[in-house]
Structure 1
Amino acid sequence: MNGNLKKINANDISKIASGQVIVDLRSVIKELVENSLDAGATNIDIRLVNYGADLIEVVDNGNYFLVPISVGSGILESDFSGLALKYYTSKIHSFGDIRSIHSFGFRGEALSCICELSGEFEVVTRHSSSDIGWNIRYNPDGSIAAKHERACNKGTTISVKNLFDRLPVRRRAYLHACKTQLSNMITLVQSFAISSLGVRFSLTHRPSAGASVTTILSVPVGSCIQVDCRRIIL
């Protein structure tokens, strides 16, 4: 008699693993904002459409590969191919590096997991050394699907369309609890805004593609709340 145990195929294994890293809207924003902060960004704009279910955008002026911010913002063209691949990172080169790491993340999983669980994952970036920007669309496996030049400001925009589109049950649960998901994410962004001195944060929401934009959070650099919290900490 044949046994019941069967090996899960590699594609499904990858989706299951990604679903453990990215579980809700809050975890997506956490990973993207931490990437921006690790990149030395001083401006971070978060834009949502339909509670993030249709579109999540995080726009920053940081350098994604930990070159000092004075050297430049944006992503170099030579790094496009590894950006959404699993375990590709600039933050460590061997396990021993974790003893001295000072960044939020280092595993090289976040962008690849978000990419795999999205209906579409897109990056628009322009490095400060370049006169032109790039629009790169990625396949679910992290490989480049399409790439073309485009005019844009220096910095990087990560766009996530139709989050959890490849996990139907997770997608339905997300849509059912979208207001709670938004509330939890706002609390997270508030904590980032309070603790990240010298960084301007903004969070906007558009209920649908044709609706007006609502500003949920806007914290300028050197705001009173950041200064007051720093005094308390010190």
Structure 2
Amino acid sequence: MHLFYQPGVDSQFLTEDDSRHAIKTLRLSIGDEIAVTDGHGNRHLAVITVANARRCEFRILATQTTQPRPFSIRICVAPTKNIDRIEWFVEKAVEIGIERISFFFGQHSERRILKLERLEKIAVSAMKQSLQSFLPILDNALPFEKLLTSVGEEQRFIAHLPDHDPPVNVAKKATLGGRYVVLIGPEGDFSEKEIDQAVGADFQMVTLGPNRLRTETAALTACQILNFINT
């Protein structure tokens, strides 16, 4: 069954983009059943009552509520110079499973502007593609110092691969069922000052493996590892 997103299901009509997709692309019509999620765990079985490509209306038949996962993953990542790479990360992380994505500008960041609107659309599309009922939170980019003050998760990690004596892999540091947050640095990596600030904020230094990874690859790897150890 086709899944659509309507954050305010009290208004029983699809967004204009979803209306066009339902009527023009999927060729759905009055009487066809669809699934609609509000992005907060509620999925509604509904039937189309008005098949309009600009405002497709529906009537809810039944509602199923999904409980949040017993663990949560938050990835804090510096936007890459090539924004396509961050868009790829957001899409894949949402498909795999993630609760929150936060962006920050570090001392070595090459990108200093981030437009969240397109990333939010990508996240919605990935949620629908993977048939999930929760839409992850996407946070506007903050300076690194301010980002640290926003962290409330108990299991805090900073991914860094120093030249000597590499730390333990995050898979061995993380404990099951936790609230995780992982810091992923920009193309130029974290500065020594930023590493010291993170450690001072109770972040544990971890690796994601022996190889040096691109920013978006590291972010997705951290997400996948934490999902995997909780399966």
User: Between Structure 1 and Structure 2, whose CA radius of gyration is higher?
Assistant: 2
State the TM-score bracket (shorter-chain normalisation): under 0.3
TM-score (norm 2): 0.25
TM-score (norm 1): 0.24
